[in-house]
Amino acid sequence: MADNHTIEPQVLPPNPEKATLEGRNKYLGFWFFLGGETVLFGSLFGTYLGLRGGTADGPGPSDLFHVDLVFIMTMLLLTSSLTSVFAIINMKRGNYKGLLLWMTATVVLGLAFLGFEIYEFYEYNHQGLGFGVSAFASAFYTLVGTHGAHVTFGVSWITVLLIRYRKSGLTLTNAPKFYTAVLYWHFIDVVWVFIFTVVYLLGIGG
């Protein structure tokens, strides 16, 4: 029952997230889950690509999208991925305070991203792109909105972890939890890179 106790940083195994069978299961299971999520987003991308021409006389991609806004959002999310990497580096060094600090930074950046996304949707709606106006509108909101829902879930998840484990120190139980949360966060980032390319760059360029 060693996993019950807080382990001092100096006796922590080098990869605390994979030191127990539970941790290894969680790690592998989460990778599989991300595989499924890939198909999920792949289906949404396919739908969007199939429907992005169907604007039905409503506003289209080139009327709406602006590179500057999306660039800021991209930078926020990419930076948040970087901060989560710093968090894991700190975890492996046994610096629990650093882990919490960098994870908090990740949450803040994620919230900022969400703020921009809400502003973006509000603005598009204002310009006549209601959810059911055209097939393009529905497909756009569904794809980008599903990503936004993932960001929201990720922010909430990490926040719960940060509050729950604010004083516990690093243990063999919470190390896999932080690690999988960061995996999830990277995945959301990668999806955004594709959204940036397929939705926005393609929308503005073509």
Partner 1 sequence: MSYEKAQSKNVIWDWLTTVDHKKIGILYLAAGAFFFAVGGLEAILMRIQLMFPESSFIQAQTFNELLTMHGTTMVFLAAMPLLFGFMNYMIPLQIGARDVAFPFLNALGFWLFLFGGILLNVSWFAGGAPDAGWTAYAPLSSESPGHGLDFYVLGLQVSGIGTLIGGINFLVTVINMRAPGMSMMRMPLFTWSSFVASMLILFAFPALTIGLLLLMLERLFGATYFGVDLGGNVIIWQHLFWIFGHPEVYILILPAFGIFSEVLPTFAKKRLFGYSAMVFATLIIGFLGFMVWAHHMFTVGIGPVANAIFAVATMAIAVPTGIKIFNWLLTLWGGRIQFTTANLFALGFIPTFVMGGVTGVMLAASAADYQFHDTYFVVAHFHYVIIGGTVFGLFAGVFYWWPKIFGYRLNETLGKVFFWLFLTGFHLTFFVQHFLGLMGMQRRVASYLPGQGLDQLNFISTIGAFLMGVAFIILLVTIFTSMKNTTNVSDPWDGRTLEWTTTTPVPEYNFAQTPLVRELDAFWYEKYEGDGKMKAAEPIGDIHMPNGSILPLIIAFGLFVASFGLIYAVYPLAIVGLIISFIGMFLRSVKEDHGYHIPAEAVKRDKDGGK
Q: Could you tell me which stretch among 84-92, 114-122, 132-140, 195-203 binds partner 1 (CB under 8 A)?
A: 132-140
Residue in 80, 98, 81 with CA at minimum distance from that of residue 89: 98
- Coil, strand or helix: which one is 172? coil
- Answer yes or no whether residue 152 interacts with partner 1 by CB under 8 A: no
53 binds partner 1 (CB under 8 A): yes
Going by C-alpha positions, the residue among 92, 91, 93 that lies closest to residue 101 is 91
Name which of residues 17 to 46 contact partner 1 (CB under 8 A).
Answer: 21, 24-25, 28-29, 32-33, 35-37, 39-40, 43-44, 46
- For 197, the token pair is 């390319």
Question: If binding is defined by CB under 8 A, does position 166 make contact with partner 1?
Answer: no
Does position 98 interact with partner 1 (CB under 8 A)? The reply is: no
Instruction: Give me 11's structure tokens.
Output: 């006796």
Cβ-based neighbour number of residue 192 at 10 Å: 24
The stretch near partner 1 (CB under 8 A) out of 52-60, 85-93, 110-118, 189-197 is: 52-60
| Spatial CA neighbour of 109 closest among 83, 134, 143 | 83
Among 164, 193, 197, 205, interactor with partner 1 by CB under 8 A: 164
Nearest to partner 1 of 119, 131 (CB atom): 131
169 Rama sector, left if φ>0, alpha if ψ -120 to 50, beta otherwise: left
CA–CA distance, 184 with 193 (Å, rounded to integer)? 14
Single out the residue of 10, 132, 167, 206 in contact with partner 1 (rule: CB under 8 A). Answer: 132
Report d(CA 126, CA 34) in Å as an integer: 35
Q: Which of 50, 115, 128, 205 touches partner 1 by CB under 8 A?
A: 50
Out of 141, 178, 179, 185, the residue judged to bind partner 1 by CB under 8 A: 141
Those residues whose C-beta lies under 8 Å from the C-beta of residue 148, and which sit 6 or more positions away, are 114, 117
Candidates 91, 129, 139, 191; binder of partner 1 (CB under 8 A) is 139
Other C-beta atoms closer than 10 Å to the C-beta of 93 total 12
Residue 161 sits in the site that holds partner 1 (CB under 8 A): yes
Q: Position 185: which residue type?
A: W
Site residues, partner 1 (CB under 8 A): 1, 3-4, 21, 24-25, 28-29, 32-33, 35-37, 39-40, 43-44, 46-47, 50-51, 53-56, 131-136, 138-139, 141-142, 146, 157, 160-161, 164, 173, 177
